[in-house]
A and B are shown apart, each in its own frame.
Chain A
């Protein structure tokens, strides 16, 4: 028995680094990534992207998309923290994988990079639709832009476009500005208008449209202008992150780019920087927040009460930290707000940060009783969503908490007592005065 427990302890000691080698609350960066390819040659044509990931400590597992031994989970445990699908033409995934299991993978809080391309398969389109992105229905359509194409686009149908309409977010694309345009050749997609979790990272210019470049346009294109998204991201409610790209070539390296009409000649396209930064974001190396529990108490006390009284003064604080890729750093912002909420916010206050991760404020409980909630709903572009709430009832005054003697009522007190005295005297006189 002793031996057994010791050996268990020993095994767990060996397993410990292995266990910590994965996504966890304390270490939210993905580590084990499955890469699905429809052709192993992609491994070399996109080597810069993959090598970049490897150098950042990711453990990449390359598999053919139709490999019959494919499995995302074993015994109910996911084997991977992230998934990269570079298999635009695959009709069926191997093993037990299908679009539902990939959706489940995302719903379990894990991340996904999905790249389609021209003539993307229904499977890829299905997965994208699950994530709120609709690819152009015409399978032969491509994004065409006759004004902002790359001058290196030799064949002249202007499908290799040089896009520079990037989302303005340091969290998603890093602090360094991406100077050079991003080269894109692929299929357009639009965002599902009812889905407010998905947004564009790279949009096409207003002059772009989606059509089959080899045939004449018979009717106006369905997708035009800036409605076309080239690369989109979706952050699910459980903070799983998904990147959807309409082009597989985006991730491959290219050099030498000149946007049509532009004087600037760049040595190197912005693609490498773009996909690197995007992969940092999607694999939670950046923009990942964690919050401690909501702490509140009356002014001058330290313990959290079970119930507040109306007009109590209270202090509220919450700790928020940001993952820097290696360690948790205090989060600094001046836009975190707390609501004191009962069907609608009765108090809405901006929290002040102390640079050590502690966000703090104090306010007076409103003159309304009921079951309130402290709510911190922090949704900032690129950051993980913080949605914290804590329920607390607010009671009215107790019977002995009201003012006992009201100054304005003294005349009434006086009147009452003089009447009583007068009545007593009157009764006495009436009864005993002959």
Chain B
């Protein structure tokens, strides 16, 4: 392909000879065989990148093809709603938006409690398209934002790989990251979440910073500050950058790699990045006030001390005197820093670490202290299988890549090694952080693949050259080839290299197959429409969620308040357009605990709570008919725990029988009479769900329920979807005569 298109290219270059002499001369002076291969390589590289760019995009379109162009999961619905608001009302209204439809009656200042990067990005794309007279719906833009940014990430990965190793590694990294399931899981079409653009921003910031460290250029440092700003505007995960970069700088300082380049890069990036980040309302003054950001500031001050010491060392010629001075300065600097930190923390100016941060460092922290964090499935520690599932061969290419990195240690490779190791640790703590580790794993694996393949191919080539006694030099890196030519004595080297190459390509193709399969089977489900296999192998779709939300939209008063567990809050406001008590922005634990308490109390007590919150409808998700396991009964223990965390009248052991969670006849009386149980299983005792089973057989838990005769006093059934997945109850007004 390269050979075929090459003459056309040179021809076109020749025709455009109107360019200045400088380029002309350089073009003609390089007109030799050597240049042609370089041109070929460039062309090949660009076409590969172009293909990878397209591949990354289309691999993420399974969900659109399977289902429809729709927003997935929970949080994306909030993002979609806010983007819609932004495009309709403009930026200032968005910035000052006070949402009275969520967290009733507290309300939520949306403008000040979100990361606006994603919405602004989508709105800009939307406005740009409209400017170009493409009248698309904002939903389509939102759905395709994540694949688009995934494509851009591949480009960044290429440049990053090029920066830390060589172009080959860059290309491999681009391909690996384009289809890596760990990244696809969060960036399929419709997964309109912060992470969609944040991973792009994260990698871009890191790339620009490494570039700044390598070149010592203010321009690159400035660019990385802006990259950091974009990251801060997009995702709370920016905390990872603001801690990893200082850590990296610290490591460089300790290992004696301090340089002027590093000084310029870090100082410029930190100061400007911090000032820019303060412009995001949600972040505000955290960079100078929160404990999580203090490390960066400490390293910043340390840099100044280093610079000062460097200067003193330059002025002072006496080493002994300098040693004493060094000791005094370092001691006093650390003491001043420690005292400042202590005073700041004691006076409350510097806030302590948040629970989420603690739970990263200590995986058991959330489980004991913050049930609301532990209750989220994506905050659970990662299982080994999911590493295998998300990384596949990268899992063992990663150590190999680390080996290569350590073998050729530079500022850039130290960075990628640190990024890889820290993020992999975090990925082990929380499932969702696999996403953050994915670019590092891809890059390091790419180094392994690229270096191995390069070594092997150069081995093959030198052998050929030796046998042919050709005059041309190998195109591969001279270092590797010269090394290989030295030990030619080994027999079967060529065959071995071929076998290894075949092995590598087999592995890579298995990786590609695995990635496609995972994307298609596991990560392209919108989770708002459920799919199942019927008895005859046909696909059955359960569209109950949307059915219920549209019912709410059409049949309830516009100011109706819906109480549900917080998971469904964003979807109810976005699709049902009704006020909710709590939603997925879990900022007020007490409010969520109140709902948890209502769900786990008996009907009379729950009625009091619901009246005090002006609740009109209660929505529960129930999978007993369809066998859908992530329903409210299975989440119920978390409601009890979160409710009990604030209201000690709710005690978890009362809902368990010998530490076991049951819904059948052996369940605890408290369980059988709590509101959630009643609402889920109301009239369920009359229903035969499975042939050969008694009526009231719960397919999600595989038991016959314990309380089949449920009478509701203060609530009445308003709507149950066709597969019973969503059930909506109306709260009755107080009785007329009592």
Contacts and interface: CB of A to CB of B under 8 A. Distances in A.
Contact of B737 (A236, A369, A394, A395): A236
Contact of A372 (B95, B105, B579, B734): B105
A40 interface: no
Majority-rule SS of B interface residues = loop
Contacts of B738: 132, 194-195, 197
A240 B98 contact: no
Nearest to B93: A398
B559 A391 contact: yes
Given A307-B98, A393-B100, A370 B105 contact: yes
A171 interface: no
Counting chain B CB atoms within 10 Å of each CB, which of A370, A371, A372, A391 scores highest? A371
A234 interface: yes
Interface in A337-376: 342-343, 369-373
A365 to B, nearest CB: 13
B344 interface: no
B361 to A, nearest CB: 34
B98 A342 contact: no
A291 to B, nearest CB: 19
Interface string A17-44: 0000000000000000000000000000
Bin chain B's interface residue count. 20 to 34
A234 B736 CA distance: 11
A396 interface: yes
B98 A106 contact: no
B106 interface: yes
Contacts of B688: none
Nearest to A393: B100
A106 B96 contact: no
A371 B736 contact: no
Contacts of A394: 107
A103 interface: yes
A107 interface: yes
A103 B737 contact: yes
B626 to A, nearest CB: 36
Interface in A365-424: 369-373, 391, 393-396, 398-399
A6 B678 CA distance: 56
Contacts of B95: 399
A122 to B, nearest CB: 19
A373 B100 CA distance: 12
A225 to B, nearest CB: 25
Contacts of B735: 237
Nearest to B96: A398
Contact of A371 (B104, B612, B733): B104
A128 to B, nearest CB: 11
Bin chain A's interface residue count. 20 to 34
Contacts of A342: 105-106
Contact of A132 (B92, B104, B737): B737
A248 B388 CA distance: 86
B330 interface: no
Contact of A106 (B92, B613, B734, B736): B736
Contact of B107 (A236, A237, A369, A373): A369
Given A307-B98, A398-B96, A393 B107 contact: yes
B713 to A, nearest CB: 14
A169 interface: no
B109 interface: yes
A247 B559 CA distance: 48
A398 B89 CA distance: 15
A255 interface: no
Nearest to B735: A237
B98 A396 contact: yes
Contact of A343 (B92, B100, B559, B612): B612
A130 interface: yes
Contacts of B734: 237
B737 A234 contact: yes
A131 B96 contact: no
A5 B23 CA distance: 93
A30 to B, nearest CB: 18
A197 B734 CA distance: 12
Interface in B386-421: none
A195 B98 CA distance: 41
A342 B105 CA distance: 6
B96 A393 contact: no
Nearest to A234: B737
B100 A371 contact: yes
A311 B612 CA distance: 25
A240 B735 CA distance: 13
B100 A238 contact: no
B106 A370 contact: yes
Contacts of A240: 736
A197 B736 CA distance: 9
Given A107-B736, A107-B737, A395 B98 contact: yes
A107 B428 CA distance: 62
A131 B98 CA distance: 46
A377 to B, nearest CB: 13
A107 B107 CA distance: 36
A398 B111 CA distance: 10
Counting chain A CB atoms within 10 Å of each CB, which of B104, B613, B733, B736 scores highest? B736
Interface of A: 103, 106-107, 130-132, 194-195, 197, 234, 236-238, 240, 307, 342-343, 369-373, 391, 393-396, 398-399
Across the A-B interface, give the 10 residue pairs with the lowest CB-CB distance, nearest first.
A393-B100, A395-B98, A371-B105, A398-B96, A107-B736, A370-B107, A236-B736, A342-B105, A371-B100, A370-B106
Interface of B: 92, 95-96, 98, 100, 104-107, 109, 559, 579, 612-613, 733-738
13 contacts: A195-B737, A197-B738, A237-B736, A237-B737, A307-B100, A342-B106, A370-B100, A370-B105, A370-B107, A371-B104, A371-B105, A394-B107, A399-B92
Given A307-B98, A396-B98, 4 more contacts: A194-B738, A237-B735, A343-B612, A373-B105
